[in-house]
Amino acid sequence: MSGFLAVLVIVLIFIVIFQIAKASEYVSILKGEKKARQQSNRINGFLLIAFLVLGLIGVYYCNNLLKGKILGESASVQGEGVDTLIYVTLAITGVVFVGTQILLFWFAFKYQEKEGRKAFYFPHNNRLEVIWTVIPAIALTVLVAFGLKHWFQLTSDAPKDAAIVEITGKQFNWLIRYPGKDGALGRRDFKKIDEAASNPLGMDWEDQLGKDDFMATEVHLVVGKPVKFVIGSRDVIHDVGLPQFRMKMDAVPGIPTTLWFTPKFTTKQMKEKTGNPDFTFEISCDQMCGSGHYSMRGVIIVETQAEYDAWVAKQPLQYALAHPAPAEAPKADSTQKTVAANIGKP
């Protein structure tokens, strides 16, 4: 019922607007088209100035209200540079936006149609063309250069002491694999993928490096220690989005991609900083990947080295899960053996 009333109200509003427009046309006919147009221009000019002032106040208010509350402080060391680049970009484009909008609305008000004033036809000016082409091109080139600097840093070789975590996307969840004590991930072959045999990644069990690898449903990282993500996909293109760390990387079938960063805060510290006891770092899929895209979410837990080591010690090796030990045959009871032996004896 409430939905019907809402639709009815919207229809009535459109009818009222339509009737007002028709009434304005009748008034212009009675007063004279030119005079009515000039009066309409004056009203629109004042409304534009009012909209400009209220709009700028609204932008300033929303900025103060939401600043730092959507994502908060970067949770990675490398993300600080990304935040700085974003703020610089917003500052430059913000100044240009505010300046051009003020000029746009002010000119619309000041140079409205009046008696004795005729618009000047100004089709071309080489100097202006050069100015508003070259200056934005230089500014954007500088911003792109700084962006590439951060990109090359995040996708370059990780430090030698960096941990390694493999993240593989599939419709519609993430497969997480860790290397064992050797610090290296084993070889994979997509032809060997077998969910029923506890081998969702197609690990090649003939490769000795893979026999101590293990998988988990969560990503566990050590605070203050660099981590390298090896990213891939088992089916379609996904995208590993790490909003709190300011990171993002495509997961492409057959083409491994990498990025690395250093976590700054543990999950426990972030719960205290945000005042949210349910806070979690998350992995989101930032690439539309199918009907279940909305549910493709992973959890990252950042903890101390001691907590991480305790967690690793509890994880079963994937090789052991894929090769369970054969069950031992039940031992016969000694009493049953004696009875069986005496059967048939006098």
pTM of the model: 0.75
**Sign of the alpha-carbon dihedral angle for 197, 200, 206, 208:** negative
DSSP-derived letter for residue 199 is B
**Sign of the alpha-carbon dihedral angle for 79, 81, 85, 91:** positive
- Which residue pairs from 28-33 have beta carbons closer than 8 angstroms and sit at least 24 positions apart in sequence? none
CA distance 294 to 288: 9
Looking at residue 286, what is its pLDDT?
A: 92
Least confident of 144-153, 307-316, 318-327, 334-343: 334-343
Is the distance from CB of 193 to CB of 201 less than 8 angstroms? Answer: yes
Hey, what are 101's tokens?
């909008």
Q: Is the peptide bond before 109 cis (omega within 30 degrees of 0)?
A: no
Across the range 7-35, mean pLDDT stands at: 73
- The answer on pLDDT for 338 being more than 60 is no
Number of H helices, E strands in the chain: 8, 10
Q: 3-state class of 294 per DSSP?
A: helix
Looking at residue 29, what is its pLDDT?
A: 62
What pLDDT digit, counting tens, does each position of 131-170 carry?
989 999 999 999 999 999 989 998 999 999 999 999 999 9
Helix axis angle for 126-154 and 77-110, nearest 10°, is 160
Q: Mean pLDDT, the chain, as a whole number?
A: 86
Hey, what are 282's tokens?
């998350």
Q: 3-state class of 237 per DSSP?
A: coil
Looking at residue 1, what is its pLDDT?
A: 60
Hey, what are 280's tokens?
């979690």
**Alpha helix (H) ranges present in the chain?**
2-31, 33-66, 77-110, 126-154, 267-274, 305-313, 318-322, 334-342
DSSP-derived letter for residue 73 is S
Q: Burial, 302: exposed, middle or buried (Cβ in 10 Å; 0-12, 13-18, 19+)?
A: buried
For domain 163-322, give the CATH number. Answer: 2.60.40.420
- The answer on pLDDT for 3 being more than 90 is no
Across the range 233-259, mean pLDDT stands at: 94
Torsion of CA 51, 57, 59, 61, to 10 degrees: -150
Give the pLDDT band (50/70/90) at residue 25: low
Is the distance from CB of 217 to CB of 176 less than 8 angstroms? Answer: yes
Hey, what are 123's tokens?
């089709």
Q: 3-state class of 171 per DSSP?
A: coil
Looking at residue 343, what is its pLDDT?
A: 53
